Amino acid sequence: MKILLLVLFFLVSYLSPLSIGATEHQTDSTETQELNEQQDEMVTYPATFFSRYNPSTALEMVRQLPGFILDDGESIRGFGESVGNVLINDNYPSAKQDSPTAILSRIPASRVEKIEIIRSQVRGIDMRGHPVLANILLLDDTPVAVQWEWFGTQSSRAPFRTGLNVSLSDSFKAIDYSIGVDVERQGSGERGSDLVFDGNDNLNEIRKEELREYGLRLVGVFLNAATWIGESFIQINAKTGVTRGAEYLTSARKSVPFVPPVELQSLKFSEYHPTFELGMDIERNLRDDLSAKAIFLFTRNNTEFITRQTNVDLPDTQSLFRRSDSGRLEKESIVRLEFNWDRFSNHNIQLNMEGALNTLDGDLVQIMDTGAGPLPIIVPGANSRVEELRGDFLLKDTWSIGNIELDYGLGAEVSNISQTGDVDQERDFVFLKPQLVATYSKSDRHQATLLFIRDVSQLDFNDFVSASVFEDDDLALGNPDLKPEKTWVSEFINEWRWGQDSVYKLSFYYHKINDVDDLLPLTPDFEVPGNIGNGYRLGVRFESTTPLDWLGLENAKLDFKVRWQDSSVTDPVTGRGRQLTARGFFSGPTNIRFNNENEYVFDLAFRQDFQQSKISWGWDFAEQAKRPRFKVNELEVFNEGLEANVFVETTRWYGVKIRLDARNLFNYDESRNRTIYIGERGQTPVESRIIRDRTVGTRFTLTLSSSF
């Protein structure tokens, strides 16, 4: 696989010089003039640039931006560090649950005037740690527009999945608003087997398994509105909805050599998840050289889980029943103030202050019946309340010196975290967060950025509260002593642009990590999320967009992105160095994560547009490395194969975009290799190995969308 990555890297690098001349030669003269009027700080793409793609929404336009990868932000506490890399009319949406992807999908392409790729600070816009931002500028006084999209997905492994979203964009008494509804019937499925080996690698059990998921997601109402009241610009974002779903896992187990009976294990996971979010921001100029913005945000997430397990020795002898009822109620209230001061020439001074109150209430009731009647099971740390009162500020200056821009500042964070219930504890934290970003723009074609930032991670409150994992017959214990991970981030980014859509970006990074958040041994059998010491990660990322007109492929392009990474931390069980534990499990087709703790990931995508015929087609290949998870008495390794997808779309009939996707063409295996030790991992003999192979099937999706 490393050889394949090197071949792809050098292939795309070799193609780039050949594509420069072709790109510049093929560029439309009007677009060339508009693109050449850009400043070094940003690249402007007028709406006409995207006409070849026949977009229906602003989201489809953003996805075709050369050299830009849409980031929806992270689901972490707070606002300043959780927003994505998209602006609408110079403003970040005051929302977290309503992602930039969802908001952009509700903006008709006809409302977009142009899109700016902002590469350093302009107009006092805070980059918030992003190397680039996409700024969608909308037309004024656009007529009423209705945007709709329907999709249906069929797979051999899953029930039929379908969804419909409809939104209305209009103006009412100087209020620009978008309102709509989103309904989706969810479904997924997997099928495969588990092979269980003893410590001597002798096969002693075969498990045939099938997982099917059903669900309904309803976003009752979402609202995005903006208006001027006097000299103040006000935006409101609201979203409410509910998700109901269930998963069914059946596992038929027989011994090797076969000795009756066959055990049938059935698991049912039910979920009820209502959500609510309300955000508002107010912006105005206090003086000619001083502007201020206030942001208010409230979110509420309530999740209720019911898990039932039934083991039956066929034909009808029940050997085990257990049930777990758990709930998590999360609330977040945020107030944020931002000030921009342009008093001094070539300087922009910013002061950001944020206060937040976060709470999580967790509860769990569990019973087990092995034939003598139900008995309550106590899970320590499962019934708890976690509360955090946090404040942070950042004072920074952006200093422009010719072709160099220095963005430097000092931030600080103070917080108080308390936990009550099964655990009673209170702790205080204080962190300093300096930052320095230096950008050199030799011309609009080349930009180099060097950054040093101290990042303090936001703790996941779910790591404080315990839960049961019936599928693995295990407990996920919480840790009230967990501390935030601190990272000194250093990165060097080089970007080259030629013509209208040739972009090549090469990045090197080194992160020195204190208090690595990983899995900490608690006993020889259990571990908790915890801090295991210091570590590092280093790596390289390459992203490119290469037009292929010079090959005779008119209006065709190749997008390539790849990451390679090395990481290390001292293992608290073995005492030896090893890579960081990867986050997440199986992400499913077309959801490969680039920011994970595995060795490599790559994605190669091709697209060609036939403008006169109004037809487009394309394909992409993607793969990621294995993802190990280091537990105290177990090593888990997750892996998938090569992902292959293809699509064709057209807008030839009645202005409706018709798109057909075939995903996961090779139907790769999702493998999970569990090595379970008698005692501590690597220090005691192997007790058993469980090798799981499942397939999710090829998925075919038909999407219809339009606006009027």
The structure tokens listed for 552 are 């005779």
Rounded mean pLDDT, 16-34 = 39
Instruction: Read off the DSSP letter of residue 588.
Output: -
**3-class SS of residue 31:** helix
Cβ(60)–Cβ(53) below 8 Å: yes
β-pair partners for 649: 616, 659
CA 528 vs CA 399, 439, 523, 525, 584: distances in Å: 45, 41, 10, 11, 16
What confidence score (pLDDT) does residue 80 get? 62
Residue 4: CB partners within 8 Å, gap ≥ 6?
none
Provide the pairing of β-strand 699-707 with 203-229.
unpaired
- Report CA dihedral (378, 381, 386, 392) to the nearest 10 degrees: -160
What confidence score (pLDDT) does residue 20 get? 37
User: 506 falls in which pLDDT band (50, 70, 90)?
Assistant: very high
On the 0-12 / 13-18 / 19+ scale of CB atoms within 10 A, 550 is middle
CA 485 vs CA 50, 246, 534, 656, 683: distances in Å: 42, 34, 9, 49, 28
Indicate if the pLDDT at residue 521 is higher than 70: yes
What confidence score (pLDDT) does residue 206 get? 95
**pLDDT tens sequence across 401-422:** 988 999 999 999 999 999 999 9
User: 78 falls in which pLDDT band (50, 70, 90)?
Assistant: low
User: 584 falls in which pLDDT band (50, 70, 90)?
Assistant: low
Indicate if the pLDDT at residue 103 is higher than 50: yes
The structure tokens listed for 101 are 């992807």
CA distance 690 to 195: 6
Task: Select from 340, 367, 335 the least CA-distant residue to 353.
Answer: 335
**pLDDT tens sequence across 108-159:** 888 899 999 888 778 778 777 777 889 999 888 778 888 899 999 998 778 8
Rounded mean pLDDT, 333-360 = 93
What confidence score (pLDDT) does residue 534 get? 96
- Full-model pTM: 0.87
**pLDDT tens sequence across 187-207:** 888 889 999 999 999 999 999
Measured in degrees and rounded to the nearest 5, phi and psi for residue 523 equal -140, 175
Helix H or strand E segment including 19: helix 2-26
CA distance 640 to 672: 9
**pLDDT tens sequence across 675-706:** 999 999 999 999 999 999 998 889 999 999 99
Task: Select from 214, 213, 210 the least CA-distant residue to 249.
Answer: 210
Indicate if the pLDDT at residue 580 is higher than 90: yes
Q: Which residue has the higher pLDDT, 356 or 13?
A: 356
**pLDDT tens sequence across 310-334:** 999 988 889 999 999 999 999 999 9
Which domains are assigned to the chain? 38-143 (2.170.130.10), 183-707 (2.40.170.20)
What confidence score (pLDDT) does residue 3 get? 43
Query: What whole-number percentage of the chain has pLDDT above 90?
Result: 60
On the 0-12 / 13-18 / 19+ scale of CB atoms within 10 A, 136 is buried
- Report CA dihedral (121, 125, 129, 133) to the nearest 10 degrees: -80
**3-class SS of residue 94:** coil
- My answer on whether omega of the bond before 685 falls inside 30° of 0, hence cis, is no
CA distance 517 to 533: 8
Rounded mean pLDDT, 658-679 = 93
Q: What amino acid is encoded at 271 in this protein?
A: E
**pLDDT tens sequence across 548-567:** 998 989 999 999 999 999 99
User: 81 falls in which pLDDT band (50, 70, 90)?
Assistant: low
Residue 335: CB partners within 8 Å, gap ≥ 6?
294, 295, 296, 354, 355, 356
The structure tokens listed for 542 are 């390459």
Per the prediction, the chain carries an average pLDDT of: 87
CA 674 vs CA 260, 513, 520, 638: distances in Å: 26, 28, 18, 9
Beta strands in 444-479 (DSSP E): 446-456, 467-469, 474-476
What confidence score (pLDDT) does residue 34 get? 40
Cβ(207)–Cβ(192) below 8 Å: no
User: 585 falls in which pLDDT band (50, 70, 90)?
Assistant: low
Q: What amino acid is encoded at 433 in this protein?
A: K
Rounded mean pLDDT, 539-548 = 94
Indicate if the pLDDT at residue 169 is higher than 80: yes
What confidence score (pLDDT) does residue 77 get? 60
What confidence score (pLDDT) does residue 76 get? 60
Dihedral sign (CA 77, 82, 83, 84): negative
Residue 137: CB partners within 8 Å, gap ≥ 6?
89, 112, 113, 114, 115, 116
Residue 445: CB partners within 8 Å, gap ≥ 6?
496, 497, 498
Query: What whole-number percentage of the chain has pLDDT above 70?
Result: 91
**pLDDT tens sequence across 33-74:** 344 434 557 889 999 999 888 888 899 999 999 888 888 776
CA distance 361 to 333: 15
CA distance 534 to 486: 9
The structure tokens listed for 424 are 């009673």
Indicate if the pLDDT at residue 589 is higher than 60: no
